[in-house]
Amino acid sequence: MSWLFSRIDGVIRPAGHVFYGWYIVSAAGGLQLLSGLLWMHSYGAYVVLLQDEFGWSKALVAGAFALTRIESGILGPLQGWLTDKYGPRIVLGVGVVIFGIGFMAFSQITTLLEFYLTFALIAVGSSLGGFATVMVAIVNWFSRHRAKAVALSQMGYSLGGLAVPVVIICLEAFGWRTTAFYSGVMVIVVGFPLVFLVRHRPQDYGELVDGGSQLNSDGTPMVFTSGRDFTTRQAVHTASFWLISMGHACALLTVSSIMVHLVSHLSEGLDYSLSQAGLVVAALTGFQMLGQIGGGFIGDRFNKQLICVVCMVFHTAALFLLANATELWMVILFTAMHGLAWGIRGPLMVALRADYFGPSSFGTIMGFSSLIVMLGMSIGPIYAGYMADTHGDYVTGFSVLGIGALLGSLCFAFARVPVHPDDAKLVGEK
């Protein structure tokens, strides 16, 4: 076991001290924990309580979530450009404040319009103060260990899901309004200090990518790169940009639908209590975390593209299992397959783009990609909710979304490493 600890120590402390990139990973994990725990993973529980109080349909409630994802997609290019130009810290700070205020405003709603408006605030805040912004920093600080770093940061999001039963206890004990208000307070009080740990590029602070963990034969630090960096314009002119974006959108068809409708499906279709459904969410998140732990390491060692293909097939099988679940073992198998696929694939969505297009314009490239990805994030919940309202259950909706995930696997299968235009020009000249 000593060799294992030695290797881990070499990754964390490549120059004899803790590489600052890992502090950024920790801060990113903390920010994503807040988003996952208080909003994304807990939204399904809020759905049940909002329907009980206001009588809104599943499609209407899911529509709010979908519109927030549309907003995130539209905001993406501007957010990416701002992050690339001014650094993630400023963008994160603004986002955390808006996120917290949005949650506090949500606690006071009385109409459907107010519900949609406050959720738009939450969406803007969580987007600016969350995943896409912190990923820019991580991609800049890591190359060789990029998949590990992304996976470990996303563990925060997963820990949020694991702790959902705590939020449900608060919802049942204090009501959704009180829980939402103090969730907003927590976002600002906890999130703002984490923002100040995030830094943009290592060279601005006298650091090297990956901590300069290995040396060349002449003693200079070895820099790991996948080739020339693409500009945003160059990236969007490649087939791989569109295929990865569409594959990611297909993945989020399933992920977003499960986040919004899983608790409703379990409570209405399988007669689970809210607490029992919360335990399923926690189990799902536990498998997601296992996937992230393993995915980060295998993603840095093996073909990320192929791994994504396999994960999408797992998403398909899991959706069909859930749609037709009648026994506990089917629900458990669903949580294992969907959770592992989600956990392994999630970090690779970031790492694969960074490997293909480089870190220089990563934020902007991710931003434009989000315009496509948001289609899956928004269409999935609305479609599943509409089908449940129409047919009285989620069988058809989940089954069709499973087929969508299978189409996503084909997108990843054809998303080959792009040739940089300058390299293609040189080949043509020869």
Cα radius of gyration (the chain): 21
Report d(CA 83, CA 94) in Å as an integer.
Answer: 12
| Average pLDDT over all residues of the chain | 81
Report d(CA 200, CA 275) in Å as an integer.
Answer: 41
Contact indicator for 106, 159 with CB cutoff of 8 Å: no
pLDDT score for 215: 46
Q: Is the pLDDT of residue 103 over 50?
A: yes
Task: With H, G, I as helix, E, B as strand and everything else as coil, classify residue 420.
Answer: coil
pLDDT in tens, 318-363: 989 888 888 888 888 999 999 999 888 887 887 888 888 887 787 8
Q: Looking at 107-205, list the stretches that DSSP marks H as alpha helix, in order from N- to C-terminal side.
A: 112-128, 131-141, 146-162, 164-174, 176-195
pLDDT in tens, 195-252: 999 988 888 777 788 776 444 444 444 444 445 688 888 888 899 999 999 999 999 8
pTM given for the model: 0.72
Q: Is the pLDDT of residue 430 over 60?
A: no
Q: Looking at 224-267, list the stretches that DSSP marks H as alpha helix, in order from N- to C-terminal side.
A: 232-236, 239-264
Q: Is the pLDDT of residue 313 over 90?
A: yes
Domain covering 17-204+226-417, topology: Growth Hormone; Chain: A; (1.20.1250)
Share of the chain above pLDDT 70, in %: 87
pLDDT score for 181: 94
Report d(CA 373, CA 28) in Å as an integer.
Answer: 21
Residue 273, class by beta-carbon neighbours within 10 Å (0-12 exposed, 13-18 middle, 19+ buried)?
Answer: exposed
